[in-house]
Chain A
């Protein structure tokens, strides 16, 4: 299991990196390599050129702004997980991060690399979709912001053009007082999610839910916002019948076929269970707001 031959460049400027990509249709960006290198070792990916972006200036660091957390391209999962400001600004993130692989993988793999890879079972794309975040892609003709909903298109496919580099991702903060929850089912701890569900909601003084957001990974060809369930639950007291209805409305979203680990019908069952549990957990954590 050794990679086939490729060229290797480690530019120090974004412009140089973009022009290398633009000049070779089979070139690929190399960030942490935790997805790309296993694929290359299996010879499932055979890029002609690797553009290693680790030495590019300006691609490091996390900035917590007033409405979003900005994560630069070379920020590793583990940095994102342990950052104290991030923990304070959006506690959902730490709850999600501990489910991503294992510490040695999180030490190397990048948050943005995970978004770009767009594995439908991965946690980072779900997080971005759940929070309604976006990425900023820079190409030969400048940079553009792409909303999560547009970015994740299908299995391992994003709206990124071949000659674009995603320079940062923007994860919105939680609304004041919002409750949050994420959990997933895996076969082994640290594996990609079989099904994962995240939920954010606020509770009105009346006990009714507002601003409900629910998203799932592992059920389709990309992370899915379960908007029908959100609509059903908004304005309710999240009673058992409300949850039944929300679950029933969500099951059609499960399109991932049977695979070596689980069947499609199992994914439906797990999705239903996790929606119920995550909504309840988020509600428990929500502070009542006016």
Chain B
């Protein structure tokens, strides 16, 4: 028997080309004669545009075209509202180029097309715009006041959405509570900062009427559909390719960014390929951001520490537009009770417009905020009740025998009731305690303190709804010439290693090596049914679709092989790229089976010649292809999950705080993680670790610093502090594998897991470390040295 590939730590198929510098990112695609785009972007957070004068820019040499809202015809409309929801009143989306008003610094006003980007930037600087600046309110609390300056003239109080969800009887729970704890916490604005900024290139072939768009997007199929409808082209005439993409983390899935429409438009009008390569500054001011929420959360508890009710009210900053609807806030609100039983929940939020770039999901998507609120509250409750922080959690975790655990009344982002499907929450907590050395920590802490060092232990639990529907598909085909297996799905990859995990799934079904499985994704010409890569859904949804499809092909292979070897189907096994009669040395190569399954006339290669030595692959009378039979070994199938799968984990850390410099050093970081069965643990760990590093960024470093006038003070990697290797500690990642009962592979998603709990862990650890100075509170992340200094100084230290 060949070894099982599912679950193996195998190296990635995609690596050699990326390591040799042979990746094909959008700006690497050679497009001879391409023209280059730069945008004129608003320097004001709110202003009326009185006039735009492009004459000087147009006249400068090397400039090919300049577009304002008046020059883009039918495109001059508001872009789509992707996820409507009744909680929104009059939802606002952006126009490709501003008309009349600008609503944030960075909003696109004009597009310059020139012979190169240098010239395009020169020309953008020559466009003269007469602005009448308007007042702004950047504080999301004050923005709701009557009379606060409005982001949209028609929207009073800047209220974008208001939504309440209830589970059980929260009022009853609070009436019955023996103890209530209440805190207000805040998570600040951040951004995904993928290393490759966004990029779009387009080529229009007037002769064939075909539009090809290379887009560093997480959702090529949706972009294709959108472009076809906007330009009135047949879908088959529009090909969208998401080639290699240098990280996305949510930022690269929006329909549309202005450039995604305007670049193809310009290519069609100018008859030359057109490229827009977003630069880092533009990525900071023009691409989606996330995170700002202020939660006021109350826990109703019994003296035993059992939490019987939860009330949370939060404000969510949605930026100037709300194209994604309430997705982020809804995920936050439905994740608010975490892994705990808490049977009675009231959660209410208001989404607030601010004059900043739109907010759409960034890895974590509301979960880090919900986790921060809940876990900081759990710590405070433990302290008030005199309970250990592990113990209070232990007493509230959903027990192994309580799954599936439903939260009646809370609807997740897929519109379905929150139902935690499976897990071993208690075991994960115990593992974290062991790995952290929690039992002996107090001794170590006291010893360190006597040397003047401040150590603290931090802890947080989280759950993550993953694998959202509606569906994905898979296409599997064994190539008759090479015997290699071709797999297509409608996703795109930004580095997750789909090509390898999907290959592992298929390899097990077809008895081939994963290196012989070639996965093609991100190209609408290869496969064009599907949704996109987001919400930790690829392994669950596409993985199961591909698994189903491969199983169908396996059946075809077995039948054909049995026919060719004149053997009983149950006696056939697949391994080493061939079908074998078990226990014998008789076999037929997959390539030969594929060839024989395709009744051609020409034996033009070895596989075809080999095929002729066997009996026919198909046993029937009549024409070579029987009625209803298809040539080749190929299938297409789909998977549509019944509900989300819920991954979870426990993170903990030992931190050291230097009260003199107010710096935080993470001495030890522990992650216990369960995403169901792991297809490739090496890649799972990679995803988790990447998420933890982003989480550390969010906990200590990364903060978009908007000034009171709406300008972003740190729109560069110099001042927006993405951690280097020197800021990331060693981490021990331990796994639990509780198979999800919801799908055949037993998998759950993992993409976002790592980042969710980190902020809560670090704040918890810093609080613990500084306990000798009093009961100090750290209720905001990122936790900067200045914030620590301020808290210490207020406490007289």
The yes or no answer to B281 lying at the interface (CB within 8 A) is yes
The yes or no answer to B714 lying at the interface (CB within 8 A) is yes
| In the bound complex, CA of A277 to CA of B659 (Å) | 13
Given contacts A2-B121, A269-B660, A273-B661, contact A189 B714 (CB under 8 A): no
The yes or no answer to A262 lying at the interface (CB within 8 A) is yes
13 A-B pairs (CB sep. < 8 Å): A1-B280, A4-B122, A42-B716, A43-B125, A185-B785, A187-B785, A259-B713, A266-B786, A266-B789, A269-B789, A269-B793, A273-B661, A274-B661
Given contacts A1-B281, A2-B118, A189-B727, contact A266 B785 (CB under 8 A): yes
The yes or no answer to A261 lying at the interface (CB within 8 A) is yes
Q: Is A185 in contact with B789, judged by CB distance below 8 angstroms?
A: no
B112-126 near A? 1/0 per residue, CB < 8 Å: 000001100110010
Q: Chain A contact residues: over half helix, strand or loop, or mixed?
A: loop
Restricting to B506-544, which residues have a CB under 8 Å from any CB of A? none
The yes or no answer to B43 lying at the interface (CB within 8 A) is no
Q: A5-B118, A188-B727, A191-B718 are in contact. List 16 more A-B contacts (CB 8 A).
A: A2-B121, A4-B125, A38-B718, A42-B281, A42-B716, A185-B785, A187-B721, A187-B784, A188-B723, A188-B726, A189-B724, A260-B714, A261-B784, A265-B793, A269-B660, A277-B660
Restricting to A49-71, which residues have a CB under 8 Å from any CB of B? none
Most A-side CB within 10 Å, residue of B117, B714, B727, B786: B786
The yes or no answer to A175 lying at the interface (CB within 8 A) is no
Q: Is A188 in contact with B281, judged by CB distance below 8 angstroms?
A: no
Restricting to A1-55, which residues have a CB under 8 Å from any CB of B? 1-5, 38, 42-43
Q: Is B784 in contact with A262, judged by CB distance below 8 angstroms?
A: yes
Restricting to A173-194, which residues have a CB under 8 Å from any CB of B? 185, 187-191, 194
Chain A hits for B125, CB < 8 A: 4, 43
Restricting to B661-703, which residues have a CB under 8 Å from any CB of A? 661-663, 701
Interface residues of A (CB under 8 A from B): 1-5, 38, 42-43, 102, 185, 187-191, 194, 259-263, 265-266, 269-270, 272-274, 276-277
B715 to chain A: closest residue by CB:
A42
B720 to chain A: closest residue by CB:
A260
B713 to chain A: closest residue by CB:
A260
| In the bound complex, CA of A42 to CA of B701 (Å) | 23
| In the bound complex, CA of A191 to CA of B722 (Å) | 12
Given contacts A185-B785, A261-B719, contact A2 B660 (CB under 8 A): no
Whole-angstrom distance between the Cβ of A100 and the nearest chain B Cβ: 14
Chain A hits for B118, CB < 8 A: 2-3, 5
Contact of B789 among A189, A191, A265 (CB under 8 A): A265
Most B-side CB within 10 Å, residue of A102, A185, A191, A261: A261
A272 to chain B: closest residue by CB:
B660
Closest 5 CB pairs of A and B: A273-B660, A189-B726, A260-B705, A1-B279, A2-B118
Contact of A270 among B661, B713, B714, B784 (CB under 8 A): B661
| In the bound complex, CA of A38 to CA of B717 (Å) | 11
Chain B hits for A188, CB < 8 A: 701, 721, 723-724, 726-727
Chain A hits for B719, CB < 8 A: 260-261
| In the bound complex, CA of A260 to CA of B719 (Å) | 7
Whole-angstrom distance between the Cβ of B701 and the nearest chain A Cβ: 7
A269 to chain B: closest residue by CB:
B789
Given contacts A188-B723, A262-B784, contact A5 B789 (CB under 8 A): no
Whole-angstrom distance between the Cβ of B716 and the nearest chain A Cβ: 8
Given contacts A1-B279, A269-B660, contact A263 B701 (CB under 8 A): no
Q: Is A185 in contact with B661, judged by CB distance below 8 angstroms?
A: yes
Whole-angstrom distance between the Cβ of A177 and the nearest chain B Cβ: 28
Restricting to B778-794, which residues have a CB under 8 Å from any CB of A? 784-786, 789-790, 793
Contact of B701 among A185, A187, A190, A194 (CB under 8 A): A187
